[in-house]
């Protein structure tokens, strides 16, 4: 399917788009367009099932091909010429997939399973480190964290002094703990949202490292711990009784451009450990469970949000995380005077 010829055909003649199931089922103009085009009858999947439709919403066929192009050429010129179909901008309330907050900040989050060598140093996990795991799960998984304009501005001291320490609002630290620093993120962007009651500690602190006329350099320090407390005697997963738990220190370097009034660097690492029973939908052990404390690492970096991929909502799958209280976690912000 994915040959050089087929990729060239798509790039030169088609506009590729991913269609989440919840969009085609949704009320409103997006869902109506997809249903009228017959997409619901011809599933679009990552395994290669595709549908081709015209700009006006006529179903042309399955996977992109010369036959599909021939069908398109048979349409009236009024449907084929550039600008023939004008698509209006959606109102915010009509969008099924939410957009990043206006003036907000997007962080690209990478999560992956790790292991340790005989000297205790971290290394990338291998298939043989697990009882059962798919090879693709050993690669980093990527998702996105959103901060509102008020939230990222709260991280910038109004009158910075070298050595000054500032607490980070719990709205940010708890969001990071519940929605992003979850070992399930090494598997998928959609699962593993931690309940607020599971959080034992989610504390972040900003330290002013350096101040100049054009830059403020900050370090981010903290600790995230949710789930059970570690008990070596019980951490014998996949058969042990110890409940799921995760803890990680937080280390970050942030740089704020005082002229642009924007962050130009936002690098965070979270080299954490997971333990206990992950549990599947039936509470049974999973193949990714390993005895003792085992490492799962995360890294955050600044994203410009210029590509559609970089504007995906947290936890993927539409607005799942937002519906689970993404922006209502933690106390309200108290912005410093400016």
Which range of 3-17, 89-103, 156-170, 186-200 scores highest in mean pLDDT? It is: 156-170
Q: What secondary structure letter does DSSP report for 74?
A: T
pLDDT at 281 over 70: no
Q: How far apart are CA 302 and CA 144, in angstroms?
A: 10
Mean pLDDT of the chain: 87
- pLDDT interval class at 43 (50, 70, 90): low
Alpha-carbon span 219 to 261, nearest angstrom: 18
Question: Where would I find the H helices in the chain?
Answer: 4-13, 21-25, 29-36, 66-73, 77-80, 149-153, 170-175, 320-323
- The whole-angstrom distance between residue 135's C-alpha and the CA centroid of its chain comes to 20
**Interval 229-250: pLDDT, tens:** 999 999 987 778 899 999 999 9
SS3 185: helix
User: CA geometry: angle at 21 spanning 15 and 25, to 5°?
Assistant: 110
**Of 276 and 319, more confident:** 276
Nearest to 183 by CA among 237, 128, 103, 119: 237
The residue extents of the domains of the chain are 4-94, 105-323
Q: Of 36-40, 96-100, 213-217, give the lowest mean pLDDT range.
A: 36-40
Lowest mean pLDDT across 63-67, 91-95, 107-111: 91-95
Residues in the chain: 338
CA distances 276 to 61, 89, 223, 224, 226, Å, are 49, 48, 19, 17, 12
How far CA 162 is from CA of 156, 167, 284, in Å, comes to 13, 15, 51
Q: What is the pLDDT of residues 291-337, one digit of tens each?
A: 999 999 999 999 988 888 898 889 876 677 888 889 986 554 443 33
Residue 180: count other Cβ atoms within 10 Å of its Cβ. Answer: 25
pLDDT level of residue 41 (50, 70, 90 thresholds) = low
Cα–Cα distance for residue pair 54/32, rounded to 1 Å: 15
As a whole-number percent, the residues of the chain with pLDDT over 70 amount to 91
Q: What is the dihedral of CA 116, 120, 123, 128, to 10 degrees?
A: -30
Q: With H, G, I as helix, E, B as strand and everything else as coil, classify residue 226.
A: strand
């Amino acid at each position: 399917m994915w040959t050089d010829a087929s990729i060239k055909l798509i790039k030169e003649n088609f506009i590729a788009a991913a269609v989440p199931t919840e969009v085609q089922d949704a009320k409103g103009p997006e869902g109506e367009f997809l249903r009228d085009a017959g997409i619901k009858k011809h599933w679009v999947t990552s395994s290669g099932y595709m549908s081709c439709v015209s700009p006006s919403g006529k179903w042309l066929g399955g996977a992109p091909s010369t036959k599909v192009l021939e069908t398109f050429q048979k349409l009236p010129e009024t449907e084929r010429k550039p600008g023939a179909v004008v698509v209006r901008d959606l109102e915010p309330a009509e969008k099924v997939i939410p957009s990043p907050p206006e003036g907000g900040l997007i962080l690209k989050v990478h999560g992956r399973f790790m292991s340790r060598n005989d000297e205790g140093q971290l290394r990338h996990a291998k298939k043989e480190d697990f009882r059962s795991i798919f090879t693709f799960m050993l690669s980093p998984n990527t998702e996105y964290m959103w901060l509102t304009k008020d939230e990222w501005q709260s991280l910038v001291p109004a009158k910075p002094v070298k050595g000054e320490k500032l607490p980070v609002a719990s709205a940010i630290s708890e969001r990071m703990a519940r929605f992003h620093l979850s070992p399930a993120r090494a598997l998928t962007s959609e699962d593993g949202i931690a309940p607020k009651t599971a959080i034992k500690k989610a504390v972040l602190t900003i330290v002013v490292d350096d101040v100049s006329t054009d830059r403020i350099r900050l370090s981010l320090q903290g600790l995230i711990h949710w789930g059970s407390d570690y008990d070596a005697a019980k951490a014998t997963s996949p058969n042990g009784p110890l409940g799921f738990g995760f803890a990680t220190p937080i280390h970050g370097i942030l740089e704020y451009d005082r002229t642009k009034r924007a962050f130009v660097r936002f690098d965070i690492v979270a080299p954490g450990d997971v333990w206990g029973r992950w549990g599947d939908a039936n509470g049974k052990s999973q193949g990714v469970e390993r005895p003792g404390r085992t490492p799962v690492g995360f890294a955050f970096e600044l994203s410009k949000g210029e590509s559609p991929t970089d504007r995906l909502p947290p936890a993927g799958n539409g607005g799942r995380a937002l519906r689970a209280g993404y922006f209502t976690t933690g106390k309200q912000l108290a912005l410093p005077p400016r």
